[in-house]
A and B are shown apart, each in its own frame.
Chain A
């Protein structure tokens, strides 16, 4: 391949080094909310600089076709980024993951085509891996996006022979990677084989994953998109691509770890298709039937409790996102604040469909980020708080996770909502959440106030009653 960078091009490396430093500075600034925006802008200009640096160094600045392609991508990307609703952010992230994967797959694919696997072992292996991981990122993101958009069912799709298909796929993958090292194989055949295996692998892998596991999958695909880029960089020997790809890969890996920890799942289990809807541990045995009369035994009117509450915790979940109730939640917060009460939000790390999902939705309706608390910082406050409002959350506050080893959620860290004096539930119904495990909180004999239905309607009704 004629695009090998020669070591003598000192300038190119100096500029690349500076750009990598800028990217790292941008990420460093993201650790403070105040400077995060600046950090993002710095990273953006670093990438722009990288584009210009490349065009000049490789002397391709006058190839007009490139500008047409860039304009198309920039236009669509900009329009979508400006128009997309915050509620669709998980789909947007999936799209970005997927397109990053696609670009890496194509770049690596060209490198595979032009590499002699028998002689250039290193470029060939990195190029083929880049091609494969890019492809898996692309196809996996499409399926994840379709699931988030509810075109495909959110529930994991089970089918027999999953392990067998996975094993065969990986075996064929290994063969397609190593055989060309020992005897000549037409590059088109290598690429064709990779294309089929990668697509199959991505479909099998993502189909098995259900809605609540989405934060893990999205983070993992995020990591993949970076790794694919870095591998492409190794294949075409570009240090900038290797560096930035590595950073992105590390970021996704870290988020994946955080998500796995928050759900008490191992990454391997997810990859092997053991979803949190574990069919081997049917929740039937542990069902204690919901006591619908619990609410009657409350001695005080729930509206009075809320009116007199001096401290309030709001626990948002994916239900709030579906009902698009965040604006009403903010209204409720304003009501409590004007009433002299302190309001805090308790954010479980896996609430929603991607890392940080709830924070974005609440920031959109102008909730002060100082009021958003992570699980560990707020878990001790539940028992001393006057009123705890749960908006469309279930599994993340299910105490069964602490007590029953036979349930799929056992060991998952949860919000200590059950320690609260008065719990107000704004869920659609009392059915179990995604995990399929009944929530014993609903069996409480007192201090439980149920407002069932679409959170938008029930909160609206509540606001009217509070203000009357």
Chain B
């Protein structure tokens, strides 16, 4: 169990490198949708928000849980839905017509 944080740290380093290499191939044409797509992905914090909020909801301090925890869940969900939909809207626009 004491090793686990360091495994995670290793995952962090590896995924940073893998992500960097993958994203290096994305053409500059798509940099804006790439950014909004990445915003949507950073909405993955929703998993953390759900877990933390559910834990705090069990505590006595309902107010803190419902307001602050709720805010984190809502913000993260906003990111997921807003991010993916707006990215899709943009990517739909990039078209090539037959000449």
Contacts and interface: CB of A to CB of B under 8 A. Distances in A.
A41 B96 CA distance: 20
Interface string B68-99: 11111111111111111111111111111100
Interface string A230-274: 101110111111111111111111110010000000000000000
A48 to B, nearest CB: 8
Given A96-B86, A106-B49, 12 more contacts: A7-B4, A51-B50, A60-B50, A66-B54, A68-B70, A89-B86, A100-B43, A236-B52, A254-B23, A254-B24, A349-B28, A356-B33
Interface string B42-72: 1111111111111111000000001011111
Interface in B17-37: 17-20, 22-37
A225 to B, nearest CB: 5
B86 to A, nearest CB: 4
Interface in A362-410: 363-364, 366, 368-370, 372, 374
A251 B24 CA distance: 8
A78 to B, nearest CB: 5
B77 A226 contact: no
Interface of A: 1-3, 7, 20, 23-24, 26-28, 30-31, 33, 36-37, 40-41, 43-44, 47-48, 50-51, 53-55, 58, 60, 63, 65-66, 68-74, 76-78, 80-82, 84, 86, 89, 92-93, 95-97, 99-100, 102-104, 106-107, 109-111, 122-123, 218-219, 222, 225-226, 228-230, 232-234, 236-255, 258, 347, 349, 354-357, 359-360, 363-364, 366, 368-370, 372, 374
A301 to B, nearest CB: 31
Contacts of B23: 27, 247, 250-251, 254
13 contacts: A77-B83, A81-B81, A122-B5, A230-B12, A234-B9, A242-B12, A244-B41, A246-B15, A248-B39, A251-B38, A347-B29, A359-B28, A370-B96
A64 to B, nearest CB: 10
B15 A356 contact: no
Contact of B35 (A104, A219, A253, A363): A219
B61 to A, nearest CB: 10
Given A234-B8, A240-B44, A74 B32 contact: no
B73 A66 contact: yes
Contacts of B83: 77, 81, 96
Given A37-B92, A372-B29, A239 B47 contact: no
A202 to B, nearest CB: 17
B78 A51 contact: no
A55 B79 CA distance: 18
A254 B91 CA distance: 20
Nearest to A134: B45
B30 A74 contact: no
A370 B54 CA distance: 49
Nearest to A375: B28
B51 A73 contact: no
A110 B29 CA distance: 39
A65 B57 contact: yes
Nearest to A215: B31
Nearest to A111: B52
> Which of A73, A250, A364 has its CB near the most chain B CB atoms (within 10 A)?
A73
A325 to B, nearest CB: 17
B74 A356 contact: no
A258 to B, nearest CB: 7
A80 B20 contact: no
Given A55-B50, A63-B57, A242-B11, A31 B72 contact: no
Contacts of B68: 106, 109-110
